[in-house]
A and B are shown apart, each in its own frame.
Chain A
Amino acid sequence: MLASKLIKATTTTLLTRQSQYKHGIVRRFSLTQPVLQAKKVTFTFINKDGTKKQITEDIGMHLLDCAHKHDVDLEGACEASLACSTCHVYIQDKYYDKIPEPTDEENDMLDLAFGFKENSRLGCQVLLTPELDGMEVTLPPATRNMAVDGYKPPKH
């Protein structure tokens, strides 16, 4: 009887252990954030003519790079060195606060952007994060004729 109980206990233990290894999971405890399985972010560019283009790209890529990679007509004259304002975009209002605030240097260039609005940012300074999934990014109009009402050209 004892022997059979022992055998049963051992077998159960073995089976349990086997099932653990079979599923390949040995639970570990950790204090870091769980690694997200989805490393890509999907968002939409809205072109000057109103057409939309959905883009899926890696976390950490900036909007200007995304635009160039997917043939969206966003210029980056200074190649992301904060020396121009040609990659100026409008961020959809509800996502604006999910992006870290612009630095002084970015604000300095935004001052001179054509068609500046409260939700303006420089595309080369906005990095993709999971919180921005679903965002719409609008390209500003190209000329005064298409500009927002009440636009005042920068005095410089």
Chain B
Amino acid sequence: MIITTLNRARIMGYNHHILKSPLIGCKQYLSSSWSHFYIIKRTYSSSPSSSSTSTTTSSSSSSINQPFHVCVVGSGPSGFYATESLLTAYPKTHVTIFERLPIPFGLVRYGVAPEHPEVKLVQKKFEKLLTDNQNSCYFVGNVKVGKDISIEELSHHYHAIILAYGSDSEKLLWIPGEKQEGVYSARQFVSWLNGHPDFQHHKFDLKGKAAAIIGQGNVAIDVARILLRDIDHLSSTDITEYSVSCLRNSSISEVHMIGRRGPAQASFTTKELREILTLKEIETYVADDDMLSLNSSSSLELSDDRSRRRMFDLLSKLKPLRTADPHSSKKKLIFHFNRKPEEFLSRSEPNKEEGGSQLSGIKVEKTRLEGEHDHQKSIGTGEHEIIPCDISFRSIGYKGTSMPGVPFDNKSGTVPNHLGRVTYPESPSSSSPSPSSPSPAEESPTAVGKLYVAGWLKRGPTGIIATNKWDAEETAQTILSDWHSGKLSHPPSSPSPPSPPSSTPSATDNTKLTPLGIPLLHKLLQA
């Protein structure tokens, strides 16, 4: 799409600066207000201060009125909230948001369950940010930073780069049998339902009777609810047609939700829990009475935390499975607490259907919690049991991925930072750096000091959409204080950006900083 736009522009023999459209990407995915992308002439009105200081480091006094060019990598809530914070606090900011997929909004579009359209309403606000700020805020889709263009190259064109690409990967259990057919990722399942382009080829074998979900968070509840819910209700949402037809043929009637810690440690939010526990078409139980008992540390943890206490109040009302009516035809949701998965078991006699799930159950170890409050650990007791199931979903958390040229903490899956400013390991030369954390000075010298981070990549994959608001505000305040104190100078004139082909107009001084400058997009064309 980018190529088409630019080629058309070349043919027209344009002799002005970049054609800009509010969206360069696949227009068919977008709402009608974006369904056109237009080429307009945009001239850079240079204020006297900018043209005279284009080759000198800006001092703090002259930075107040200078245009400030920022690049945001990732168009989810953190990217958009960071953009909003910057534009509100410093209207001279020009922001370009790069997104790997053709369409923006990240997890708001792909991670929210289809039956929660009100949660997705925030997309309208993000769209408005782009349409209200067409001269200072741009979205570029279908460009993967780190592959199509590097951080190093971006650093030549922007004063600051905010990494807001979230947590693209997930945590694994690393137990035997995890790789077999029938063991799926909850994250992939929800993305598949929502039409995420990367996951449409996935198949989920829903022909068994029981499903087991490992993990006790909101994504686990989403999967359970979609598997157990009346399909007609789902088909009226924006779920994909193909997944509706798969779910219609599903024979899952029992879902086990398994967690290695107790009910007081579960990561559900009360809203989602209340929703699934009050569904009339299903019955909910706890597998065993003693799973709901609390030790003193857990009681202390609850007394200190209003939201967790209210969540536990709901779980404490669960009836034990032994009280279930054996003649009831309703689907069941069964919570298992203090059970740590040890192994995924396969059928001894393989399923006749090729490619289908061979999963027969999960072997779990009973655990108990020990330790001081807020520092409890889950300890195995040596007792085991088997929970029969035909498919399983892993939902134990997301994880960030590293990007070349950027420091990364592999254990937490985040970029080390202080209030949003990316921090570098102190002495890369003295200790041997880990493979996941390359010495940034070697890889991208011009990016050092310009990198910032917001969202899950900054604080870990926790929180709700709104949590990103204050997170991004913090990063924006850090960036603006660096800008006003002169720490973010103009990109150096040497090494110069890749020289454009001869058909392009001669660049004047004040175009060196063009966010969607001809040099930059031509580089993308050549890739």
A residues contacting B by CB (< 8 A) are 75, 77-79, 81-86, 104-105, 107-109, 111-112, 114, 116, 142-145, 152-156
Which one, B116, B268, B308, B474, contacts A83 given CB within 8 A? B116
Known: A78-B121, A81-B121, A156-B267. A143 touches B464 (CB 8 A): no
CB neighbours (8 Å) of B305 from chain A are: 152, 155
B269 touching A84 by the CB < 8 A rule?
Answer: no
- Considering the complex, give the chain A residue whose CB is closest to the CB of B269: A156
Known: A108-B310, A155-B308. A84 touches B470 (CB 8 A): no
**B122 beta carbon closer than 8 Å to chain A:** yes
User: How far apart sit A144 and B475, CA to CA, in the bound complex (Å)?
Assistant: 11
Which one, A75, A78, A112, A152, contacts B269 given CB within 8 A? A112
**B271 beta carbon closer than 8 Å to chain A:** yes
| CB-contacts of B267-292 with A (<8 A) | 267-271, 274
A12 CB, min distance to chain B CBs, angstroms: 70
Q: Total interface residues on B, using CB and 8 Å?
A: 34
A156 touching B474 by the CB < 8 A rule?
Answer: no
Known: A84-B464, A114-B466, A154-B307. A144 touches B474 (CB 8 A): yes
B470 touching A144 by the CB < 8 A rule?
Answer: yes
B472 CB, min distance to chain A CBs, angstroms: 9
User: How far apart sit A109 and B269, CA to CA, in the bound complex (Å)?
Assistant: 9
Known: A111-B270, A116-B306, A156-B269. A77 touches B474 (CB 8 A): no
User: How far apart sit A105 and B310, CA to CA, in the bound complex (Å)?
Assistant: 12
Known: A154-B307, A156-B463. A78 touches B118 (CB 8 A): yes
User: How far apart sit A108 and B274, CA to CA, in the bound complex (Å)?
Assistant: 9
User: How far apart sit A108 and B116, CA to CA, in the bound complex (Å)?
Assistant: 15
**B125 beta carbon closer than 8 Å to chain A:** yes
Known: A78-B121, A79-B121, A83-B118. A108 touches B477 (CB 8 A): no
A84 touching B462 by the CB < 8 A rule?
Answer: no
**B473 beta carbon closer than 8 Å to chain A:** yes
B118 touching A114 by the CB < 8 A rule?
Answer: no
CB neighbours (8 Å) of A84 from chain B are: 119, 122, 464-466
CB neighbours (8 Å) of B269 from chain A are: 108, 111-112, 156
B residues contacting A by CB (< 8 A) are 116, 118-119, 121-122, 124-125, 217-218, 267-271, 274, 304-308, 310-311, 419, 462-467, 469-470, 473-474, 477
CB neighbours (8 Å) of A154 from chain B are: 307, 463, 467
CB neighbours (8 Å) of B469 from chain A are: 75, 86, 114, 142
CB neighbours (8 Å) of A152 from chain B are: 304-305
In the complex, 7 of the A-B residue pairs with CB atoms within 8 angstroms, ordered by the A residue number, are A84-B122, A111-B306, A142-B473, A143-B474, A154-B463, A156-B217, A156-B464
User: How far apart sit A85 and B270, CA to CA, in the bound complex (Å)?
Assistant: 14
User: How far apart sit A152 and B303, CA to CA, in the bound complex (Å)?
Assistant: 13
CB neighbours (8 Å) of B119 from chain A are: 78, 83-84
5 more A-B residue pairs beyond the given contacts A84-B466, A111-B269, A111-B310, with a C-beta to C-beta distance below 8 A: A81-B121, A109-B271, A144-B474, A152-B304, A155-B267
CB neighbours (8 Å) of A104 from chain B are: 274
Which one, A85, A145, A155, contacts B466 given CB within 8 A? A85
- Considering the complex, give the chain A residue whose CB is closest to the CB of B304: A152
- Considering the complex, give the chain A residue whose CB is closest to the CB of B307: A111
B488 CB, min distance to chain A CBs, angstroms: 20
Q: Which 4 A-B pairs have the closest CB atoms?
A: A111-B307, A81-B118, A108-B271, A77-B122
CB neighbours (8 Å) of B306 from chain A are: 111, 116
- Considering the complex, give the chain B residue whose CB is closest to the CB of A77: B122
Max chain B C-beta neighbours (<10 A), residue from A78, A85, A143 = A143
CB neighbours (8 Å) of A145 from chain B are: 419, 474, 477
A154 CB, min distance to chain B CBs, angstroms: 5
CB neighbours (8 Å) of B304 from chain A are: 152
A78 touching B122 by the CB < 8 A rule?
Answer: yes
B262 CB, min distance to chain A CBs, angstroms: 14
Max chain A C-beta neighbours (<10 A), residue from B116, B271, B462 = B271
A112 touching B473 by the CB < 8 A rule?
Answer: no
CB neighbours (8 Å) of A78 from chain B are: 118-119, 121-122
B310 touching A107 by the CB < 8 A rule?
Answer: yes
CB neighbours (8 Å) of A112 from chain B are: 269, 307, 464, 466-467
- Considering the complex, give the chain A residue whose CB is closest to the CB of B477: A143
CB neighbours (8 Å) of A86 from chain B are: 466, 469
User: How far apart sit A143 and B419, CA to CA, in the bound complex (Å)?
Assistant: 10
User: How far apart sit A84 and B465, CA to CA, in the bound complex (Å)?
Assistant: 8
CB neighbours (8 Å) of B464 from chain A are: 84-85, 112, 156
Known: A86-B466, A144-B474, A145-B477. A77 touches B274 (CB 8 A): no
- Considering the complex, give the chain A residue whose CB is closest to the CB of B270: A108
A105 touching B122 by the CB < 8 A rule?
Answer: no
User: How far apart sit A143 and B310, CA to CA, in the bound complex (Å)?
Assistant: 25
A77 touching B308 by the CB < 8 A rule?
Answer: no
